[in-house]
């Protein structure tokens, strides 16, 4: 019985996406729309499709019919479903500032909102499910993001240097990270406009003349202001100055744990996350921002960004990006046309070819050719190999079963 299947994901056309990268990767005809994400997984809102013996089947349907065979007994018993969602992202405009809850808090919040009778589709709903949503991303290009609060020393320098923030220095000295963030997030719109419109008048001309570095928060603040509503300044502008601005080089990774405020700014990446849609937003978005709920979950402490280089494996082909999340494991496989990659799936795996063309075969004799941008689903307990005559880069998602 074959355990390898061609898989087709689903494109998500969010407004912050780009026009070129995902259509070019997948080899699809570009339309006049944004191409933000390509989902590979069994998320009920947008399940991938696999080519099975009986034709095309949604992956969630396929898994539900054979959970143990697909996921392996350990993952089936622990999660009862595919625990992760795998994505390609093309970030052209900034995403919303966001925080994800812990597993315990997600369960409590989901139960509470259910008891209140808030529909799952309601725009003011905070918890769409009862799961946590840790994430790891690997850059496919130079990638920029906001990630956690600056150190106290750096934040004090920012509050001192930006004239519009001078009154906030005393707030931070007295109330720390929590006091500072709570103060700006609870401001009236009039107070926010008064501070940030003055800031906008200073930085927008510099931005438009190309005089701001991407390491300067003024660059991203001006970009957000330029793309937003100048009559209603977004409180997320403050966070651009309060958080670390991180540049990630191609092939390097960053992990986002519960409580760490973050926002993707620009670039392309592979993203692997727990199978959840729980997002508490903190600005740079027209969507619902529940400030009181947000304040319960933010980690109010300095964050030292950790760039994950990955651990090279003994075969010299695979690099695994370790994270604390038990739900998923992300790795990069590079082939140079000499020796094949040999895999043995302990649980379900999803592969995508980001560069090149490969041949995938399993021990039953089943074979798939995967071209650039094509994906495969591999069932648990499958011995397989991936080969190429050229050069290829593959990303693999699975659940660790140590």
Catalytic residue numbers, as ranges: 281
Please state the separation of Cα 32 from the chain's center in Å: 24
Neighbouring C-beta atoms of residue 291, cutoff 10 Å = 16
Alpha helices in 138-227 (DSSP H): 152-161, 166-185, 189-208, 217-227
Give φ, ψ of 259 to 5 degrees.
90, -20
* Partners of residue 41 on adjacent β-strands: 85
Closest CA to 221 of 288, 294, 157, 164: 164
Angle 26-32-33 from CA coordinates, rounded to 5°: 70
State phi, psi for 15 to the nearest 5 degrees.
Answer: -65, -25
**Both tokens assigned to 134:** 């840790």
Which tokens is 396 given? 């693999």
Strand extents, DSSP E, 24-119 = 37-41, 49-52, 55-58, 84-91, 98-99
Dihedral of CA atoms 256, 260, 264, 270 in degrees, nearest 10, equals 10
């Amino acid at each position: 019985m074959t355990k390898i299947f061609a898989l087709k994901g689903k494109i998500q056309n969010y407004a912050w996406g780009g026009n070129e990268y995902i259509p070019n990767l997948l080899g699809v005809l570009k339309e006049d729309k944004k191409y933000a994400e390509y989902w590979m997984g069994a998320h009920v809102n947008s399940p991938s499709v696999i080519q099975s013996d009986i034709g095309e089947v949604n992956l969630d349907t396929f898994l539900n019919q054979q959970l143990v065979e697909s996921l392996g007994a350990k993952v089936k018993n622990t999660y009862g479903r595919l625990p992760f969602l795998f994505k390609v992202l093309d970030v052209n405009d900034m995403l919303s500032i966001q925080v994800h809850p812990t597993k315990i808090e997600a369960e409590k919040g989901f139960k509470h909102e259910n008891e209140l009778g808030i529909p799952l589709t309601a725009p003011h709903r905070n918890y769409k499910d009862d799961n946590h949503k840790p994430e790891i991303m690997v850059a496919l290009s130079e990638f920029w993001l906001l990630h956690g609060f600056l150190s106290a020393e750096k934040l004090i320098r920012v509050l001192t240097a930006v004239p519009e923030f001078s009154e906030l220095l005393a707030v931070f000295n007295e109330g720390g990270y929590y006091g500072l963030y709570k103060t700006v997030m609870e401001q009236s719109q009039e107070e926010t406009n008064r501070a940030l419109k003055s800031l906008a008048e200073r930085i927008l001309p510099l931005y438009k003349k190309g005089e701001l570095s991407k390491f300067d928060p003024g660059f991203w603040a001006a970009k957000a202001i330029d793309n937003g509503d100048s009559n209603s300044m977004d409180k997320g502008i403050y966070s651009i100055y309060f958080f670390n601005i991180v540049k990630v080089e191609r092939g390097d990774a960053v992990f986002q744990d519960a409580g760490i405020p973050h926002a993707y700014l620009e670039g392309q990446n592979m993203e692997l996350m727990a199978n959840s849609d729980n997002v508490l937003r903190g600005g740079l978005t027209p969507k619902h921002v529940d400030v009181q709920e947000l304040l319960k979950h933010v980690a109010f402490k300095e964050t030292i960004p950790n760039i994950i280089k990955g651990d090279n494996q003994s075969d010299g082909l695979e690099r695994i990006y370790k994270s604390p999340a038990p739900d998923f494991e992300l790795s990069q496989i590079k082939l140079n046309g000499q020796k094949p990659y040999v895999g043995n799936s302990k649980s379900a795996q999803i592969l995508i070819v980001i560069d090149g063309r490969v041949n995938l075969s399993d021990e039953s004799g089943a074979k798939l050719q995967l071209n650039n941008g094509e994906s495969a689903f591999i069932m648990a307990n499958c011995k397989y190999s991936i080969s190429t005559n050229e050069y290829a880069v593959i990303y693999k998602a699975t659940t660790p079963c140590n």
